[in-house]
Amino acid sequence: MQRLKELLSVFLPGLELKRWLIVVFLGLLQMAIGTALWLGGFFQRGRDTLPFRVVTLRFLPRFSRGLVFVATGGWMTYLGWQRLSRSLMRVMLPERSETTGLTQVLMERQRAERGRRVVVIGGDPGLTPIIKALRLLREDIRIDVILSPGERGKLAQQLRDTLGLSGPQIIYPTIDDAILYAELEDESLLEGTATINRFTGGTIKDLFLSRDIRRVKVWESESNGKGVAERLRDYMPGVAEPAIEAIQQAELIIFAPGRLYTQVLPNLTLPRLVQALQESEASKILVANLMTEPGKTAGWTVADHLETILRLSSVTFGYVIVHQGGLSDTMLSQYQNEGSEVVHLQPEEEGVSRLIFADTGEETTIVEGAVVIASDIVTEAPQVVTFQRGETTILREMPVVRHDPQKLSVIFQQLLADHEEQ
Protein backbone atom coordinates (compact mmCIF):
# COMPACT_ATOMS: atom_id res chain seq x y z
CA MET A 1 0.00 0.00 0.00
CA GLN A 2 2.85 2.39 0.86
CA ARG A 3 4.51 1.80 -2.52
CA LEU A 4 1.22 2.34 -4.33
CA LYS A 5 0.78 5.60 -2.42
CA GLU A 6 4.27 6.66 -3.48
CA LEU A 7 3.48 5.86 -7.12
CA LEU A 8 0.28 7.90 -7.02
CA SER A 9 2.12 10.79 -5.37
CA VAL A 10 3.78 11.61 -8.71
CA PHE A 11 0.44 13.20 -9.65
CA LEU A 12 0.55 15.68 -6.76
CA PRO A 13 0.66 19.36 -7.78
CA GLY A 14 3.95 21.20 -7.82
CA LEU A 15 6.27 18.37 -8.90
CA GLU A 16 6.13 19.36 -12.59
CA LEU A 17 5.90 15.66 -13.45
CA LYS A 18 2.35 15.28 -14.70
CA ARG A 19 2.90 17.20 -17.94
CA TRP A 20 5.90 15.09 -18.84
CA LEU A 21 4.21 11.84 -17.84
CA ILE A 22 1.38 12.79 -20.20
CA VAL A 23 3.91 13.43 -22.95
CA VAL A 24 5.52 10.03 -22.29
CA PHE A 25 2.10 8.37 -22.29
CA LEU A 26 1.11 10.00 -25.59
CA GLY A 27 4.45 8.99 -27.07
CA LEU A 28 3.96 5.37 -26.03
CA LEU A 29 0.39 5.49 -27.34
CA GLN A 30 1.63 6.74 -30.72
CA MET A 31 4.21 3.95 -30.80
CA ALA A 32 1.51 1.40 -29.91
CA ILE A 33 -0.78 2.64 -32.70
CA GLY A 34 2.07 2.58 -35.20
CA THR A 35 3.08 -0.91 -34.13
CA ALA A 36 -0.55 -2.07 -34.40
CA LEU A 37 -0.82 -0.70 -37.95
CA TRP A 38 2.51 -2.26 -38.89
CA LEU A 39 1.48 -5.66 -37.53
CA GLY A 40 -2.13 -5.34 -38.66
CA GLY A 41 -1.57 -7.27 -41.85
CA PHE A 42 0.19 -10.07 -40.05
CA PHE A 43 -2.60 -10.36 -37.46
CA GLN A 44 -5.23 -10.24 -40.21
CA ARG A 45 -3.70 -13.24 -41.93
CA GLY A 46 -3.25 -15.22 -38.72
CA ARG A 47 -6.29 -14.21 -36.73
CA ASP A 48 -7.80 -17.66 -36.76
CA THR A 49 -4.65 -19.48 -35.68
CA LEU A 50 -4.35 -20.81 -32.15
CA PRO A 51 -1.24 -18.72 -31.15
CA PHE A 52 -3.00 -15.52 -32.21
CA ARG A 53 -6.15 -16.38 -30.31
CA VAL A 54 -4.10 -17.13 -27.16
CA VAL A 55 -1.97 -13.96 -27.36
CA THR A 56 -4.99 -11.70 -27.93
CA LEU A 57 -7.24 -13.58 -25.47
CA ARG A 58 -9.88 -14.02 -28.17
CA PHE A 59 -11.41 -16.80 -26.10
CA LEU A 60 -12.57 -14.17 -23.52
CA PRO A 61 -15.41 -11.62 -23.86
CA ARG A 62 -14.28 -8.20 -25.13
CA PHE A 63 -14.80 -6.47 -21.75
CA SER A 64 -12.80 -9.13 -19.90
CA ARG A 65 -9.99 -8.91 -22.45
CA GLY A 66 -9.76 -5.14 -21.99
CA LEU A 67 -9.76 -5.51 -18.20
CA VAL A 68 -6.92 -8.06 -18.30
CA PHE A 69 -4.78 -5.93 -20.61
CA VAL A 70 -5.37 -2.76 -18.52
CA ALA A 71 -4.57 -4.58 -15.26
CA THR A 72 -1.46 -6.21 -16.72
CA GLY A 73 -0.27 -2.93 -18.22
CA GLY A 74 -0.87 -1.09 -14.94
CA TRP A 75 1.07 -3.69 -13.00
CA MET A 76 4.00 -3.51 -15.45
CA THR A 77 3.97 0.32 -15.24
CA TYR A 78 4.00 0.18 -11.44
CA LEU A 79 6.80 -2.39 -11.38
CA GLY A 80 8.83 -0.46 -13.95
CA TRP A 81 8.51 2.82 -12.04
CA GLN A 82 9.52 1.13 -8.77
CA ARG A 83 12.62 -0.45 -10.28
CA LEU A 84 13.54 2.73 -12.18
CA SER A 85 13.08 4.83 -9.04
CA ARG A 86 15.24 2.49 -7.00
CA SER A 87 17.97 2.40 -9.66
CA LEU A 88 18.07 6.19 -9.94
CA MET A 89 18.17 6.56 -6.14
CA ARG A 90 21.12 4.14 -5.92
CA VAL A 91 23.02 6.35 -8.35
CA MET A 92 22.00 9.79 -7.04
CA LEU A 93 21.48 9.19 -3.30
CA PRO A 94 22.74 5.69 -2.42
CA GLU A 95 22.61 6.41 1.32
CA ARG A 96 18.82 7.01 1.13
CA SER A 97 17.90 4.46 -1.55
CA GLU A 98 16.58 1.90 0.94
CA THR A 99 14.41 4.29 2.94
CA THR A 100 13.31 7.03 0.54
CA GLY A 101 11.58 6.94 -2.82
CA LEU A 102 12.45 9.08 -5.82
CA THR A 103 9.09 10.85 -5.65
CA GLN A 104 9.68 11.89 -2.04
CA VAL A 105 13.10 13.30 -2.95
CA LEU A 106 11.58 15.24 -5.85
CA MET A 107 8.92 16.64 -3.53
CA GLU A 108 11.56 17.69 -0.98
CA ARG A 109 13.61 19.45 -3.64
CA GLN A 110 10.56 21.21 -5.08
CA ARG A 111 9.57 22.42 -1.61
CA ALA A 112 13.09 23.69 -1.09
CA GLU A 113 13.11 25.62 -4.36
CA ARG A 114 9.77 27.38 -4.01
CA GLY A 115 9.54 27.75 -0.22
CA ARG A 116 10.02 30.73 2.05
CA ARG A 117 13.69 31.38 2.65
CA VAL A 118 15.31 30.55 5.98
CA VAL A 119 19.05 30.67 6.67
CA VAL A 120 20.59 28.62 9.47
CA ILE A 121 24.14 29.43 10.60
CA GLY A 122 26.23 27.14 12.79
CA GLY A 123 27.89 23.78 13.20
CA ASP A 124 27.43 20.27 14.52
CA PRO A 125 25.43 19.17 16.53
CA GLY A 126 23.42 22.38 16.93
CA LEU A 127 22.30 22.49 13.29
CA THR A 128 20.45 19.17 13.40
CA PRO A 129 17.51 20.05 15.71
CA ILE A 130 17.06 23.42 13.98
CA ILE A 131 16.79 21.87 10.52
CA LYS A 132 14.52 19.09 11.79
CA ALA A 133 12.27 21.74 13.37
CA LEU A 134 12.04 23.67 10.10
CA ARG A 135 11.15 20.44 8.29
CA LEU A 136 8.11 20.13 10.57
CA LEU A 137 6.60 23.48 9.55
CA ARG A 138 3.25 23.48 7.78
CA GLU A 139 4.49 25.43 4.75
CA ASP A 140 7.17 25.03 2.14
CA ILE A 141 10.56 26.18 3.42
CA ARG A 142 13.81 26.71 1.52
CA ILE A 143 16.60 26.05 4.04
CA ASP A 144 20.09 27.36 3.35
CA VAL A 145 22.81 26.39 5.81
CA ILE A 146 25.93 28.50 6.26
CA LEU A 147 28.44 26.29 8.02
CA SER A 148 30.91 27.47 10.62
CA PRO A 149 34.34 27.89 8.99
CA GLY A 150 35.87 25.04 11.01
CA GLU A 151 33.30 22.45 9.88
CA ARG A 152 34.49 19.74 7.52
CA GLY A 153 32.98 17.74 4.70
CA LYS A 154 31.64 15.11 7.10
CA LEU A 155 28.96 17.49 8.34
CA ALA A 156 27.98 18.48 4.79
CA GLN A 157 27.64 14.79 3.94
CA GLN A 158 25.47 14.26 7.02
CA LEU A 159 23.21 17.17 6.05
CA ARG A 160 22.73 15.62 2.62
CA ASP A 161 22.33 12.02 3.75
CA THR A 162 20.16 12.32 6.85
CA LEU A 163 18.45 15.70 6.51
CA GLY A 164 17.87 15.73 2.74
CA LEU A 165 19.61 19.01 1.88
CA SER A 166 20.98 19.39 -1.63
CA GLY A 167 24.46 20.65 -2.48
CA PRO A 168 23.48 24.29 -3.21
CA GLN A 169 21.72 24.51 0.18
CA ILE A 170 24.98 23.82 2.05
CA ILE A 171 27.25 26.86 1.94
CA TYR A 172 30.83 27.25 3.11
CA PRO A 173 31.23 30.87 4.22
CA THR A 174 34.65 31.61 2.72
CA ILE A 175 36.17 31.10 -0.72
CA ASP A 176 39.64 30.54 0.77
CA ASP A 177 40.94 27.99 3.23
CA ALA A 178 40.82 29.88 6.50
CA ILE A 179 42.23 29.38 10.00
CA LEU A 180 40.49 30.68 13.10
CA TYR A 181 42.66 32.60 15.57
CA ALA A 182 41.84 33.66 19.11
CA GLU A 183 43.74 36.54 20.69
CA LEU A 184 44.14 36.38 24.45
CA GLU A 185 44.49 39.19 26.98
CA ASP A 186 48.30 38.98 26.87
CA GLU A 187 48.17 39.31 23.01
CA SER A 188 49.26 35.70 22.45
CA LEU A 189 47.38 33.73 19.79
CA LEU A 190 45.63 30.40 19.69
CA GLU A 191 45.71 28.89 16.21
CA GLY A 192 42.96 26.66 14.90
CA THR A 193 39.53 25.49 16.02
CA ALA A 194 40.82 22.42 17.84
CA THR A 195 43.33 24.46 19.85
CA ILE A 196 40.69 27.03 20.83
CA ASN A 197 38.29 24.26 21.87
CA ARG A 198 40.95 22.78 24.17
CA PHE A 199 41.92 26.10 25.69
CA THR A 200 40.64 26.71 29.23
CA GLY A 201 43.30 28.97 30.74
CA GLY A 202 42.16 32.55 30.29
CA THR A 203 39.98 35.12 28.55
CA ILE A 204 39.61 35.34 24.78
CA LYS A 205 39.85 39.00 23.83
CA ASP A 206 39.24 38.73 20.09
CA LEU A 207 38.60 36.29 17.23
CA PHE A 208 39.47 36.53 13.55
CA LEU A 209 39.92 34.39 10.45
CA SER A 210 43.02 34.48 8.28
CA ARG A 211 44.04 32.76 5.08
CA ASP A 212 46.54 29.95 5.44
CA ILE A 213 49.76 31.91 4.78
CA ARG A 214 50.97 32.21 8.34
CA ARG A 215 54.35 30.49 8.45
CA VAL A 216 55.86 31.90 5.26
CA LYS A 217 55.19 35.61 5.77
CA VAL A 218 54.16 36.20 9.34
CA TRP A 219 54.46 33.48 11.93
CA GLU A 220 58.19 32.83 11.75
CA SER A 221 59.07 36.48 12.38
CA GLU A 222 57.92 36.52 15.99
CA SER A 223 58.29 34.21 18.97
CA ASN A 224 55.43 32.60 20.88
CA GLY A 225 52.90 33.88 18.35
CA LYS A 226 53.00 37.42 19.76
CA GLY A 227 52.74 40.65 17.82
CA VAL A 228 51.41 39.13 14.60
CA ALA A 229 47.63 39.44 15.01
CA GLU A 230 47.34 42.67 13.02
CA ARG A 231 49.35 41.30 10.13
CA LEU A 232 47.35 38.09 10.05
CA ARG A 233 44.18 40.17 9.83
CA ASP A 234 45.49 41.63 6.55
CA TYR A 235 44.96 38.19 5.00
CA MET A 236 41.26 37.87 5.80
CA PRO A 237 39.56 35.27 3.56
CA GLY A 238 37.02 36.28 0.95
CA VAL A 239 33.34 35.68 1.68
CA ALA A 240 31.46 33.25 -0.57
CA GLU A 241 28.86 35.00 -2.70
CA PRO A 242 26.17 32.31 -2.10
CA ALA A 243 26.34 33.11 1.63
CA ILE A 244 25.63 36.80 0.97
CA GLU A 245 22.80 36.01 -1.45
CA ALA A 246 21.18 33.57 1.01
CA ILE A 247 21.21 36.22 3.75
CA GLN A 248 19.79 38.88 1.43
CA GLN A 249 16.87 36.64 0.40
CA ALA A 250 16.04 35.22 3.85
CA GLU A 251 12.97 35.90 5.95
CA LEU A 252 14.45 34.27 9.03
CA ILE A 253 18.14 33.97 9.94
CA ILE A 254 18.66 31.47 12.74
CA PHE A 255 21.91 31.05 14.63
CA ALA A 256 22.08 27.47 15.86
CA PRO A 257 23.33 26.66 19.35
CA GLY A 258 26.94 25.59 19.59
CA ARG A 259 30.35 26.42 20.93
CA LEU A 260 30.43 30.18 21.25
CA TYR A 261 33.98 30.85 20.07
CA THR A 262 34.32 28.20 17.37
CA GLN A 263 30.79 27.72 15.97
CA VAL A 264 28.66 30.80 16.69
CA LEU A 265 31.16 33.67 16.42
CA PRO A 266 33.57 32.75 13.56
CA ASN A 267 31.21 33.74 10.74
CA LEU A 268 30.60 37.01 12.56
CA THR A 269 34.27 37.96 12.23
CA LEU A 270 33.82 38.44 8.46
CA PRO A 271 32.98 42.14 7.88
CA ARG A 272 31.17 41.60 4.58
CA LEU A 273 28.96 38.89 6.04
CA VAL A 274 28.25 41.05 9.11
CA GLN A 275 27.29 43.94 6.83
CA ALA A 276 24.87 41.67 4.95
CA LEU A 277 23.32 40.62 8.26
CA GLN A 278 22.93 44.21 9.42
CA GLU A 279 21.34 45.28 6.12
CA SER A 280 18.99 42.29 5.96
CA GLU A 281 15.35 42.82 6.89
CA ALA A 282 15.06 39.21 8.04
CA SER A 283 14.23 38.37 11.64
CA LYS A 284 17.50 37.38 13.31
CA ILE A 285 17.19 34.69 15.95
CA LEU A 286 19.71 33.18 18.34
CA VAL A 287 18.80 29.79 19.78
CA ALA A 288 20.62 30.01 23.10
CA ASN A 289 22.79 27.19 24.39
CA LEU A 290 21.24 25.00 27.02
CA MET A 291 24.45 24.46 28.99
CA THR A 292 27.67 26.40 29.55
CA GLU A 293 31.05 25.34 28.14
CA PRO A 294 33.57 24.23 30.78
CA GLY A 295 36.53 26.61 30.96
CA LYS A 296 35.04 29.19 28.58
CA THR A 297 31.53 30.25 29.54
CA ALA A 298 31.29 28.85 33.08
CA GLY A 299 28.67 30.73 35.07
CA TRP A 300 27.50 32.71 32.04
CA THR A 301 23.91 33.81 31.58
CA VAL A 302 21.99 34.49 28.38
CA ALA A 303 22.95 38.16 28.67
CA ASP A 304 26.65 37.26 28.94
CA HIS A 305 26.47 35.32 25.67
CA LEU A 306 24.69 38.14 23.84
CA GLU A 307 27.03 40.78 25.25
CA THR A 308 30.08 38.82 24.08
CA ILE A 309 28.64 38.38 20.58
CA LEU A 310 27.89 42.11 20.42
CA ARG A 311 31.36 43.04 21.67
CA LEU A 312 33.24 40.80 19.25
CA SER A 313 31.04 41.24 16.17
CA SER A 314 28.64 44.22 16.63
CA VAL A 315 25.77 41.89 15.61
CA THR A 316 22.46 42.14 17.45
CA PHE A 317 19.46 39.81 17.35
CA GLY A 318 15.75 40.41 17.15
CA TYR A 319 14.93 37.34 19.22
CA VAL A 320 16.69 34.93 21.54
CA ILE A 321 15.07 31.57 22.27
CA VAL A 322 15.78 30.44 25.84
CA HIS A 323 14.89 27.24 27.66
CA GLN A 324 12.48 27.85 30.51
CA GLY A 325 11.87 24.79 32.62
CA GLY A 326 13.67 22.25 34.70
CA LEU A 327 16.03 19.37 33.98
CA SER A 328 16.11 16.09 35.84
CA ASP A 329 18.35 15.92 38.90
CA THR A 330 20.31 13.11 37.26
CA MET A 331 20.97 15.21 34.19
CA LEU A 332 21.99 18.27 36.20
CA SER A 333 24.37 16.21 38.33
CA GLN A 334 25.88 14.64 35.23
CA TYR A 335 26.61 17.99 33.60
CA GLN A 336 27.91 19.50 36.84
CA ASN A 337 30.42 16.67 37.07
CA GLU A 338 31.70 17.72 33.65
CA GLY A 339 31.88 21.40 34.62
CA SER A 340 28.70 22.56 32.85
CA GLU A 341 25.60 24.24 34.18
CA VAL A 342 22.32 25.56 32.80
CA VAL A 343 22.47 28.83 30.85
CA HIS A 344 19.97 30.91 32.83
CA LEU A 345 18.14 34.12 32.09
CA GLN A 346 18.74 36.41 35.08
CA PRO A 347 15.96 39.03 35.11
CA GLU A 348 17.80 41.48 37.37
CA GLU A 349 21.20 41.59 35.71
CA GLU A 350 22.61 44.43 33.59
CA GLY A 351 21.43 44.40 29.98
CA VAL A 352 18.04 42.87 30.82
CA SER A 353 14.92 45.00 30.75
CA ARG A 354 11.19 44.44 30.87
CA LEU A 355 8.60 46.02 28.62
CA ILE A 356 4.93 46.07 29.71
CA PHE A 357 2.30 46.92 27.11
CA ALA A 358 -0.24 49.33 28.56
CA ASP A 359 -3.18 48.11 26.47
CA THR A 360 -2.80 44.38 27.15
CA GLY A 361 -0.64 44.21 30.25
CA GLU A 362 1.61 41.67 28.52
CA GLU A 363 5.21 41.66 29.65
CA THR A 364 8.20 41.17 27.34
CA THR A 365 11.78 40.61 28.45
CA ILE A 366 14.52 42.18 26.33
CA VAL A 367 18.20 41.20 26.59
CA GLU A 368 20.80 43.28 24.73
CA GLY A 369 18.04 44.39 22.34
CA ALA A 370 16.70 40.88 21.69
CA VAL A 371 13.16 39.86 22.61
CA VAL A 372 13.29 36.78 24.82
CA ILE A 373 11.16 33.80 23.84
CA ALA A 374 11.25 31.59 26.92
CA SER A 375 9.75 28.11 26.62
CA ASP A 376 10.37 24.47 27.43
CA ILE A 377 12.47 23.45 24.41
CA VAL A 378 14.47 20.52 25.84
CA THR A 379 14.54 16.82 25.17
CA GLU A 380 16.81 14.23 26.78
CA ALA A 381 18.39 11.53 24.62
CA PRO A 382 21.46 9.23 24.63
CA GLN A 383 24.36 10.40 22.47
CA VAL A 384 28.12 10.03 22.09
CA VAL A 385 29.58 13.22 23.56
CA THR A 386 33.09 14.68 23.23
CA PHE A 387 34.72 16.28 26.28
CA GLN A 388 38.03 18.11 26.53
CA ARG A 389 40.11 17.73 29.68
CA GLY A 390 43.29 19.63 29.04
CA GLU A 391 44.95 17.94 26.07
CA THR A 392 42.82 14.79 26.39
CA THR A 393 39.72 14.18 24.25
CA ILE A 394 37.14 11.92 25.90
CA LEU A 395 34.31 10.15 24.04
CA ARG A 396 31.45 8.92 26.16
CA GLU A 397 27.91 7.71 25.44
CA MET A 398 25.57 9.36 27.89
CA PRO A 399 22.13 10.95 28.11
CA VAL A 400 22.34 14.58 27.03
CA VAL A 401 20.00 17.53 26.78
CA ARG A 402 19.23 18.71 23.27
CA HIS A 403 16.85 21.19 21.72
CA ASP A 404 13.56 19.50 20.84
CA PRO A 405 12.70 19.95 17.12
CA GLN A 406 8.97 19.55 17.74
CA LYS A 407 8.92 22.31 20.35
CA LEU A 408 11.16 24.60 18.31
CA SER A 409 8.97 24.20 15.22
CA VAL A 410 6.03 25.84 17.03
CA ILE A 411 8.18 28.89 17.78
CA PHE A 412 9.59 29.11 14.25
CA GLN A 413 6.08 28.88 12.77
CA GLN A 414 4.97 31.85 14.86
CA LEU A 415 8.08 33.87 13.98
CA LEU A 416 7.46 33.29 10.27
CA ALA A 417 3.87 34.43 10.70
CA ASP A 418 4.98 37.53 12.61
CA HIS A 419 7.54 38.37 9.93
CA GLU A 420 4.90 38.10 7.21
CA GLU A 421 2.72 40.62 9.04
CA GLN A 422 5.49 43.18 9.36
Contact (Cβ atoms closer than 8 angstroms) between residue 81 and residue 103? no
Contact (Cβ atoms closer than 8 angstroms) between residue 117 and residue 169? no
Residue of 156, 119, 121 lying closest to 266 (CA atoms)? 121
Residue of 327, 318, 322, 264 lying closest to 293 (CA atoms)? 264
Contact (Cβ atoms closer than 8 angstroms) between residue 226 and residue 187? yes
Contact (Cβ atoms closer than 8 angstroms) between residue 239 and residue 246? no
**DSSP strands (E only) in 216-362:** 252-255, 283-287, 319-323, 352-356
Query: What pLDDT does residue 226 have?
Result: 47
Give the Cα separation of 403 and 385 in Å (integer): 15
Query: What pLDDT does residue 165 have?
Result: 86
DSSP code at position 342: B
Q: Which domains does the chain have, with CATH numbers?
A: 2-105 (no CATH), 115-175+240-421 (3.40.50.10680), 178-237 (no CATH)
Q: How far is CA 379 from CA 109, 139, 293, 403, 404, in A?
A: 29, 24, 19, 6, 5
Residue of 321, 312, 113 lying closest to 207 (CA atoms)? 312
Q: What is the pLDDT of residues 367-414, one digit of tens each?
A: 999 999 999 999 987 777 666 666 677 777 777 899 999 999 999 999
Query: What pLDDT does residue 118 have?
Result: 96
Q: Which residues pair with 371 in a beta bridge?
A: 319, 366
Query: What pLDDT does residue 166 have?
Result: 82
pLDDT means per 10 residues in the chain (422 residues)? 53 60 74 67 59 68 78 79 73 62 65 81 93 91 92 84 85 92 89 90 89 58 57 88 96 96 96 96 96 91 94 94 89 87 82 72 86 93 68 73 95 92 74
Query: What pLDDT does residue 402 have?
Result: 92
Burial label for 227, CB within 10 Å (0-12, 13-18, 19+), is: middle
Contact (Cβ atoms closer than 8 angstroms) between residue 365 and residue 351? no
